[in-house]
Amino acid sequence: MTAGERPLNELGRWDDMGDDTRAALLGRGRAAVFDPDLRESVREIIEAVRADGDKAVAAALRRFDGCDVPADRLMVTDAEFRAARDAVEPALVAAIRDSIGHVRRFNEQIAARGDWSFESEPGLHVGEKVSPVASAGLFVPSGKGSYPSVLIQLATPAVVAGVPEITVAVPPVPGSPGTVDPAVLVAADELGIRSVFRCNGPAGIAAMAFGTATVPRVMKIVGPGGPPVTCAQLEVQRFGVVTCVLLGASESLIVADDWADPRLLAADLLNEAEHGPDSSSVLVTDSAALLGRVQAELRTQVARLPEPQRSYALRALGVNGGAVLVRDLAQAAEVANRYAPEHMQVAVRDPDALLGLLHDAGEILVGQWTPISAANFVIGCPAALPTAGFAKVNGGVTVEAFRKRTAVARADRAALSRMSATAVTLARHEGFPAHAAAVEARFPNQADFPHQADFPHQAGFPHQAGFPHAARSPEGHHAD
């Protein structure tokens, strides 16, 4: 095959790749999100919504989607929910219910690990109380297609968590009078969610962040999207809203050896590649022969795709992604962890041995009977996953994204007496006499209060008789 017949960009051996080539591969997606011009244009939209509310949201719909929606018609009506039921085929309704069921069961297992406590020392009980966040806003990027699976992946964990107020923002069909995808409405209805609004991109994120006359204000916003949506989520955090960063352009990385079926590898590489022009697909293998067979399969399978998916896939494979040859599977794990993909698949002879070396990925799918598409739609593991390398610090959207943990402690008199010397010593050292006095006030009888002499000081550290240290500002930071 000529170079033009190889859809997958062969980047060469990892050991031989230069720093620039490695950086281009590993840094996918981030530059677009943090582009200064994009940030400025997104800020303008956000500030417009902050100032003009529904009016600005409606203006954004006209400008970016060609949808003329009056400001008082942003909320989806009960009549539209009923019409959506009639518009969606029974087979799709069954698929939506099956998908919800798998995601629900996965998240119920996580939710079962709730409140906990233990006796840290006699008379001192410490633990956590788990409760849902007060409100959540879910962004479903449905403007250019029908993606009920995204709503399922975001809303099901929020429902399982028990979030009392769930708001959904969905871009309407471009050029329509504000039509919202019926399949998304059916998925929302199956989950008992009726607070759905036709909003697009940064304007929808801003509407949920600030609240408008129509759209409720929420405390946390979750949802994937392109660079403008991701940038908007970063920007609204300045106003006290929490977001899940970074759910951006789709990406996958497959680790394979010569055991893998090249036909299935090609199919799985195309899975995320067809999402859009900013998607990326990467193959990491220790077998040059396997790479050649995958190239032949890709050439055949790419040709079968319709447009624009074919063009998207060629860019994901040939520009944004590619193939990396490694010495062995240990080095493959090193490359995979550095890439930290949204979706990782392991297609090797001994997957359990490799699994122990892998730790940075949104999800790890083991074997060729666990394709990415099944994980996207039905397996139940989170499919709203961190991208652009953020899998190094974040996981996927589960019930934990919609819960918060509050520490709870209970001490009796004897336990506080045992701990008091530590509290008073540290309070005196940090220059907070009231902190120390709050403990000492509980032991007016000095016989009941441990003396500092009973508490071993750090070697060489003088006993502090007075408050506070002269060199310490009384405004010093202290985490109470």
Report d(CA 71, CA 73) in Å as an integer. 6
Q: Which residues pair with 119 in a beta bridge?
A: 125
Short-list 295, 283, 389, CA closest to 326? 283
Closest CA to 401 of 183, 96, 128, 166: 166
Cβ partners under 8 Å of residue 227, min gap 6: 29, 32, 33, 35, 38, 248, 249, 278
329 contacts 290 by C-beta, under 8 angstroms: no
**What is the C-alpha to C-alpha distance for residues 281 and 309, in angstroms, rounded to an integer?**
14
* C-alpha distances out from residue 419 to 200, 411, 425, 479, Å: 55, 10, 10, 18
Catalytic residue chosen out of the listed positions 190, 297, 343, 363 = 343
Task: Say which amino acid occupies 291.
Answer: L
Query: Is 463 annotated in the active site?
Result: no
Q: How far apart are CA 254 and CA 341, in angstroms?
A: 9
Preceding omega of 174 cis (within 30 degrees of 0): no
Cα gap 173→183, rounded to integer Å: 12
CB-side neighbour CA atoms (13 Å) of 189: 19
Query: Annotated catalytic residue: which of 297, 342, 363, 400?
Result: 342
Contact criterion met (CB below 8 Å) for 120 and 126: yes
Is the CB of residue 127 less than 8 Å from the CB of residue 116? yes
Give the span between the Cα atoms of 47 and 49, in whole angstroms: 5
Q: What are phi and psi of 194, to 5 degrees?
A: -120, -5
Mark 270-280 as b/e (b = at least 16 C-beta within 10 Å): bbbbbbbebbb
Residue 40 annotated as catalytic = no
Backbone angles phi, psi at 98, to 5 degrees: -65, -45
Tell me which long-range contacts 286-291 makes (C-beta under 8 A, separation of at least 24): 286/257, 286/325, 286/326, 286/327, 286/328, 286/329, 286/331, 286/332, 287/256, 287/257, 287/258, 288/325, 289/258, 290/256, 290/257, 290/258, 290/260, 290/262, 290/265, 291/8, 291/10, 291/323, 291/325
From residue 221, give the alpha-carbon distance in Å to each of 63, 73, 173, 243, 311.
23, 22, 22, 5, 32
Residues that are catalytic: 342-343
